[in-house]
């Protein structure tokens, strides 16, 4: 192992400010990309949350339709949970106890996170749940 020459050490120590400035410039260049990535992850989280909410609203609508023959109650339940979602209740059979009832909920998840929301289109989420009628 040879000792370093004084010229190499002097050259390395002569410009410590440039090293700090370079790190600052690199950080300034990468920061917008990191912020965009974090905002995109947040947007995906909001869409996943809306998917869970639609699934829950579908189950609640099917439950409401299975215990109450009036489909208005199921629509009220979904409006309470999601607001402006579309609900379709399909009854198969003649309306007796045990006949299947299917509730389909469709919802448009808005992508409104600043900066990245404009890059992603709104997402259509739909879910169906089938239950047996508990009352005629």
> Given the structure tokens 């905002």, which residue do they identify?
39
> Given the structure tokens 């609900």, which residue do they identify?
87
Q: pLDDT tens for residues 39-82?
A: 999 999 999 999 999 999 999 999 998 888 777 888 899 999 99
- Taking alpha carbons only, the member of 18, 41, 23 closest to residue 113 is 41
pLDDT value at 8 more than 70 = no
pLDDT value at 114 more than 80 = yes
pLDDT (mean) for 14-18 = 56
Residues 43, 117 contacting (CB under 8 angstroms): yes
pLDDT (mean) for 92-103 = 84
- Distance from C-alpha of 11 to C-alpha of 9, rounded to nearest angstrom: 5
3-class SS shares of the chain: helix, strand, coil, % to 5? 55, 20, 30
pLDDT value at 29 more than 80 = yes
Q: Check residue 134 and give its pLDDT.
A: 84
Which has the minimum average pLDDT: 14-28, 62-76, 118-132? 14-28
Residues 46, 22 contacting (CB under 8 angstroms): no
Q: Check residue 5 and give its pLDDT.
A: 55
């Amino acid at each position: 192992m040879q000792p370093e020459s004084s010229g190499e050490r002097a050259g390395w120590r002569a410009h410590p400010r440039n090293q700090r400035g370079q790190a600052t410039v690199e950080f300034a260049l990468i920061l917008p990309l990191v912020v965009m990535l974090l905002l995109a992850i947040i947007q995906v989280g909001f869409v996943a949350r809306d998917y869970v909410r639609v699934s829950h609203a579908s189950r609640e609508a099917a439950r409401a339709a299975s215990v109450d023959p009036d489909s208005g109650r199921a629509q009220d339940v979904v409006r309470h949970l999601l607001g402006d979602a579309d609900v379709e209740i399909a009854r198969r059979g003649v309306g007796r106890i045990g006949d299947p009832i299917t509730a389909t909920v469709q919802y448009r998840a808005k992508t409104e996170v600043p900066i990245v929301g404009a890059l992603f289109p709104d997402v259509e989420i739909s879910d169906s749940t089938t239950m047996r009628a508990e009352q005629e």
